[in-house]
Amino acid sequence: MDLKQLRYFVAVAEELHFGRAAKRLFISQPALSFDIRKFEEQLGVQLLARTNKSVALTNAGQALLGEARRLLLQASEAERITVRSAHGLAGRLRIGFVNSMLYRGMPQAVSRFEADHPGIEIVLKEMNTSEQVQAIQRMQIDMGYAYWGNFPSDVMSTTVFSEPFLCCLPLGHPLARKRKIDLRALAQEPFILFPRTVSPHYHDLIIAQCVGAGFSPLIRHEARLWQTVVTMVGFGMGVALVPYTLRQQQDPRVCFLPLHGETLLSQVLLLRRSGDAEPVADRFIEYLRDAGGVAQKALHAARHAT
């Protein structure tokens, strides 16, 4: 059974006349009659009861008509989705992301994109950087937004966000009244930091920055998410260095102060399979760039106001 046979059958079943059905299908009446008989022989049932004056559906024909219409509709929809997807207008986009992307325009970009492209379903998956790399290699996600790392040759990366780190302190901390923090002032403070297994890059980056300032940080507690780090600081459990975006968490128990020099930068990278050029992904990147640009402008305005 193929789609052509179903189309021919539906045309005859709806017209109940071989001549009109043949005209509708732009084929000759003898060719249509031959194809319908061949279809019946293939199925082993009679679909149409024919006389010299009329054509009627048999019980088997009645049963097939509804299913045939449904299958033809599904085939047409599949074709439409395939063509639209090839032009970035339909399909599914699976995106890996680190949690801080929620503060960098990701929710706004998803909302706008889905409103403008109702045929595209976006699936978000929160993952750390190493998980995203593996998921891209296994084709489990189409793209990812991750922190810096060492990437294999089949995963390409592009920097999309770059911002300074801030010192996050409990609001009642003696240093909280300062306008800027010299990193050396934190030499005796208990730090809250990622485990190295979760984010080797940022773990090593923060350690190296402290060592460059003349001390090895006392890591008292570890947390897997930046938001958890900020919450723990709010409970007075230590101090931390966090990306500027975390200011938007607006925890009233903490304050965020710039560091002298701003030499420590947090970067978010777009990860994709090397050579990948999916139109749907390219379209979403544009939306996130616009939403992220608004977030970056707000960030810069806040920095200059500090």
Instruction: Answer yes or no: CATH 3.40.190.10 is held by domain 91-159+267-305.
Output: yes
3-state secondary structure the chain: CCHHHHHHHHHHHHHCCHHHHHHHHCCCHHHHHHHHHHHHHHHCCCCEEECCCCEEECHHHHHHHHHHHHHHHHHHHHHHHHHHHHCCCCEEEEEEECHHHHHCCHHHHHHHHHHHCCCEEEEEEECCHHHHHHHHHCCCCCEEEECCCCCCCCEEEEEEEEEEEEEEEECCCHHHHCCCECHHHHCCCEEEECCCCCCHHHHHHHHHHHHHCCCCCEEEEECCCHHHHHHHHHCCCCEEEEEHHHHHHCCCCEEEEEECCCCCEEEEEEEEECCCCCHHHHHHHHHHHHHHHHHHHHHHHHHHHC
Architecture per CATH, domain 164-265, reads as: 3-Layer(aba) Sandwich (3.40)
Q: Look at residue 255 in the predicted model and tell me its pLDDT.
A: 95
Q: Look at residue 306 in the predicted model and tell me its pLDDT.
A: 47
Q: State pLDDT tens for residues 233-248.
A: 999 999 999 988 888 7
Burial class, 150, CB count within 10 angstroms (exposed 0-12 / middle 13-18 / buried 19+): exposed
User: Which CATH code is given to the segment(s) 3-86?
Assistant: 1.10.10.10
Domain boundaries, given as residue ranges, for the chain: 3-86, 91-159+267-305, 164-265
Q: Look at residue 296 in the predicted model and tell me its pLDDT.
A: 53
* 209, two tokens: 């920055």
Ranges of residues in the chain with a pLDDT under 70 are 80-81, 83-90, 262, 292-306
The reply to whether 164-265 shares the fold of 91-159+267-305 is: yes
Q: Look at residue 84 in the predicted model and tell me its pLDDT.
A: 60
Q: Look at residue 198 in the predicted model and tell me its pLDDT.
A: 78
Q: Look at residue 141 in the predicted model and tell me its pLDDT.
A: 92
Q: Look at residue 294 in the predicted model and tell me its pLDDT.
A: 52
Q: Are 32 and 73 in contact (CB under 8 A)?
A: no
Residue 157 CB coordination number (10 Å):
18
